[in-house]
């Protein structure tokens, strides 16, 4: 057997050798521009949010960032939304909260500082039948039954939205504060009640992974070193709705999401309200 001939070692002049990449500059600490998302990857996301009622949970250990990302997401959808701000008693929202930044139109804002207000109403379907006419369609009775079982602030937000051509979007912020009120086993039924009324629900959860997140159509984890370094935020789409195959499982920098990142930036940099990114109220 003929032995394999020895390979000659290639020689390269020092001037032709590839140079090691230089360390990033620290002056100004401006993050590098993110590579654009592949064409069409997120093209359907805004329309998916308004085509039919959906549910979404946005979570992470930076509560203000989960709220800001959710604001950018629902504003990107291009439709009016209601925002239920769940606060700790007698405490104003932080300076980074979209409410404090003025990004949420006052006419669409509902403040809850007594957590008991968000407890579900245990009103039984039989009580609903007593106030519904005998000739009322069955589906109307079921919708009314679902409506009156919802917490009062949720009822108010849905009523304020009124009839629309696209599903009304309702945001419940800081839902981690509501955990004592809702058993995980009851969450799927609550989500179904809200979507049965033709509304979409977005929940922000400023803590670790919620145990019931698989009940939502969209599950988005927000990762960032700190809130003041928001422009380094990465979104991990754990679930991405009905047409989420191209984006599901991906980690995407917020600054590469075009309009959504611009809305968050406008809210923050517009200190008096981020009016450039504010949707109509």
pLDDT digits (tens, 9 = 90+) for 121-138: 665 444 333 333 344 443
Comparison of pLDDT for 205 and 151, the residue scoring more: 205
Q: How much is the average pLDDT of 138-143?
A: 44
Domain-located, residue 154: yes
Number of domains in the chain: 1
Domain-located, residue 1: no
Comparison of pLDDT for 222 and 9, the residue scoring more: 222
pLDDT digits (tens, 9 = 90+) for 210-232: 888 989 999 999 999 888 888 89
pLDDT digits (tens, 9 = 90+) for 236-277: 999 887 666 567 888 989 888 878 888 898 888 874 333 333
pLDDT digits (tens, 9 = 90+) for 158-167: 887 666 677 8
Closest CA to 161 of 202, 111, 206, 107: 107
Q: How much is the average pLDDT of 143-164?
A: 72
Confidence check: pLDDT of 145 > 60: no
Domain-located, residue 261: yes
Domain-located, residue 23: no
pLDDT at 122: 60
Q: How much is the average pLDDT of 131-146?
A: 44
Buried b (16+ CB within 10 A) or exposed e, 134-169: eeeeeeebebbbbbbbbbebbeebbeebeeeebbbb
Domain-located, residue 21: no
Residues 151 and 117 sit within 8 Å (Cβ to Cβ): yes
Q: 58: which strand partners?
A: 204, 220
Task: Place 180 in a pLDDT band, splitting at 50, 70 and 90.
Answer: confident
- CATH value at residue 119: 3.40.50
Residue with tokens 């394999």: 4
Domain-located, residue 140: yes
Domain-located, residue 29: no
Buried b (16+ CB within 10 A) or exposed e, 200-213: bbbbbbbeeebebb
pLDDT at 14: 41
pLDDT at 131: 37
Residue 65 lies in domain:
57-271
pLDDT at 42: 54
pLDDT digits (tens, 9 = 90+) for 62-113: 999 999 999 999 998 877 899 999 988 777 888 889 999 999 999 999 999 8
Domain-located, residue 248: yes
Say how far apart CA 122 and CA 231 lie, in whole Å: 43
Say how far apart CA 60 and CA 224 lie, in whole Å: 9
Closest CA to 239 of 208, 210, 257, 217: 217
| Token pair listed for 263 | 């809305």
pLDDT at 44: 62
Residues 84 and 70 sit within 8 Å (Cβ to Cβ): no
pLDDT at 187: 86
pTM of the model: 0.73
pLDDT digits (tens, 9 = 90+) for 29-62: 444 444 444 434 455 666 777 788 899 999 999 9
pLDDT at 130: 38
Comparison of pLDDT for 104 and 139, the residue scoring more: 104
């Amino acid at each position: 057997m003929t032995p394999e001939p020895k390979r000659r070692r290639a020689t390269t002049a020092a001037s032709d050798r590839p140079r090691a990449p230089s360390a990033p500059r620290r002056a100004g600490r401006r993050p590098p521009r993110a590579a654009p998302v592949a064409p069409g990857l997120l093209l359907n996301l805004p329309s998916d949010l308004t085509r039919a009622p959906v549910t979404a949970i946005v979570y992470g250990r930076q509560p203000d960032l989960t709220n800001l990302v959710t604001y950018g997401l629902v504003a990107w959808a291009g439709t009016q939304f209601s925002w239920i701000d769940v606060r700790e008693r007698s405490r104003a929202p932080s300076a980074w909260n979209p409410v404090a930044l003025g990004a949420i139109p006052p006419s669409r804002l509902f403040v809850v500082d007594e957590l008991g207000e968000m407890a579900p109403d245990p009103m039984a379907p039989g009580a609903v039948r007593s106030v519904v006419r005998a000739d009322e369609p069955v589906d109307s009775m079921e919708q009314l039954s679902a409506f009156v079982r919802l917490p009062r602030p949720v009822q108010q937000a849905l009523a304020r939205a009124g009839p629309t051509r696209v599903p009304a979007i309702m945001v419940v912020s800081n839902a981690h504060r509501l955990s004592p009120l809702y058993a995980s086993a009851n969450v799927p039924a609550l989500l179904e009640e809200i979507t049965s009324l033709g509304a979409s629900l977005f929940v922000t959860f400023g803590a670790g992974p919620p145990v019931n997140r698989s009940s939502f159509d969209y599950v988005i984890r927000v990762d960032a070193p700190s809130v003041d370094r928001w422009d380094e935020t990465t979104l991990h789409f754990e679930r991405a709705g009905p047409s989420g195959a191209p984006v599901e499982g991906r980690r995407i920098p917020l600054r590469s999401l075009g309009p959504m990142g611009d809305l968050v930036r406008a809210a923050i940099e517009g200190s008096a309200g981020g009016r450039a990114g504010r949707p109509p109220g």
